[in-house]
Structure 1
Amino acid sequence: MNQAWLLPLVLVLSFSLTAVLRRYALAKSIIDVPNARSSHAVPTPRGGGVAIVVAFLLSLVAIAFGQLTDYPMLVALGGAGAAIAVIGFMDDHGHIAARWRLLGHFAAAAWALFWLGGFPVVRVLGLDIDLGWIGAVLGAFYLVWLLNLYNFMDGIDGIASVEALCACLGACLVYWVGGFEQLMILPLLLSAAVLGFLCWNFPPARIFMGDAGSGFLGIALGVLSLQAAWKDPSLFWCWLVLLGVFIVDATFTLIRRLARGDKVYEAHRSHAYQFASRQYGRHLPVTLAVGAINLFWLLPIALCVMLLKLEGALALVIAYVPLVVLAVRYRAGDLE
């Protein structure tokens, strides 16, 4: 199948499936009703992220037949993503104990790392470091943290979709200028799937993503970042920069809650983006601000890593320091 035709097909499929899922959720009363821990004020159907999952996984089948990317990468991404989506779907429609969810998350991460060939070499201060089995352990924690933080950060209209679009399209630009065009197909397809859903999820949202979609996006972005790092270690730093808004807010909030002795697995509204949305009284300004930070701050730094050979660790510090300042400014981790 021609790659140029595949992207609009994925977008239309995601858009259409989201419409079907919205009708299904309304008919079956699968609704998020506002409560004390919610960031929304109107009952809204949930579970629309399944459209992203289905559209993207079907596109993987198509590119497998077209041999547009490596088979092990497709197995790693498709298998891990599908497993996380199923766990999230089951949790959306019932409840899975946190320990069993976490076990499933680590199993999916291990699957992805096995097919990717382990954790890639890390380049620090010009030195390529092979972490061996320690890297595999760190890689598993990295993927599990990324999929969970994506779930934590999916709390206001459009924010998770906008972050995924910015990260994927930003990575594609980095790939293009760096001469890694062969890596562009997967993030482009994921962008198309996300955009179809975002048409329904943009503030004010008509359907929410749900755990199936947010967890899937988190591990998919993580696997894409590891795939890129296997091609060039500098690309891993680029991905960490591009995902900076979510990584900093979620990690800063988690550290503060852990230090206070909170039960971190319980729902809360103490992320910086949640405080900001309440301060401004709407979700739209915060979601647009996330897009602007990605476009005008994080993307240029990621491009500097590739084009100007900016040291990755230094780029991460430059990128994250203002984000930490924003996290403090908007009280990330404070008691509500």
Structure 2
Amino acid sequence: MVYQTIALNVAVNSYDHALLTLLVSNQFVEIKGSVFKKFEKDNLFQITCADIVERFTLCLMLIIVGFRNLIELSGSEFDFSSGFVLPRSFGWFRGNNVLSTISYPILSVMASETIVDWLKHAFITKFNHIRPSVYERYTDVLCRDLASASAVSRLGVRKHSYVDQSPLVARRLGFASLPLAVLAILIGTQSVTLLVALQVDSNPEWTSSILPNADWAHYVKWGALAVLFWLCFVVIKLIMGVNLVIYAIKRRAGMDAREAEDTANDFGRPPIGEGKEEQAYNRELKGLLNNKRDDATPIAEIGEGVRNQNGDGGGKGKGRVKLEDLTRFTMVKRIW
């Protein structure tokens, strides 16, 4: 993640079209790997979880890059309306202050990521005949995890309490918070050191406040300011957490009705936009692909099921994986 942040920082602050090249290459690979392929609802759920984590990680990296650019440009004496030399990613129309100048590449990257995700999901749902109401079911699953992960029922919903102690929503999304925390702490300490160095260079009188023999009032002032910043972030986190839990609890009221509707859309009615000829072709194609004569002889020593006289696997067939039991890195398709 440190290397990714460095690459993004170099692309944003490059004087050629490196950011545009990076965006085009990444978005082309993302669209190419998803469009015009067969996806089921469980696969789309895993893609949605991956997009959520990717967008959050990209947003954090862009905030880090913007904060570093803010530190670098805040001490400069440039006139932002005179059109001085800046990286091309900062846009052709620059504002009159630092914030509007450094926010242009951040907003452009996030806008391109959002548009590409919309196009990707639109193509997937269109060509796989998936109803848009399936995203309501995805939200219900995440809200159920968030509501179940509260302090009241946290112990009763964990399936592997001795192995996996991560929160339910993070485990469902495949989100690793510790690497991002280490990245934020690393870049944050470097940024604070750079900010202190800029203050010392611009204001020599301020140097006496950070020397060991300085007055303790300066240390108390900056320490209190750091504590206040930390308390503000803690309060914001608590407010966001409470609002998310309230939203999740409200959605649980109509969760059963949406699950029944999703079951009816899946088995009771034909997929949207799929005619009778296409349905007959899909059934014929599925029969050709699932021909037992093309399968090798199963070997029980390596865990493969022994077939019966009819050529089917022994025992009951494995049913479809429920969304409630599906995570981002769950193997949905059986290899044998």
Higher-Rg member (1/2)? 2
Q: TM-score range by the shorter chain?
A: under 0.3
Give the alignment's TM-score, normalised by structure 1. 0.27
Structure number with the higher helix fraction is: 1
Give the alignment's TM-score, normalised by structure 2. 0.27
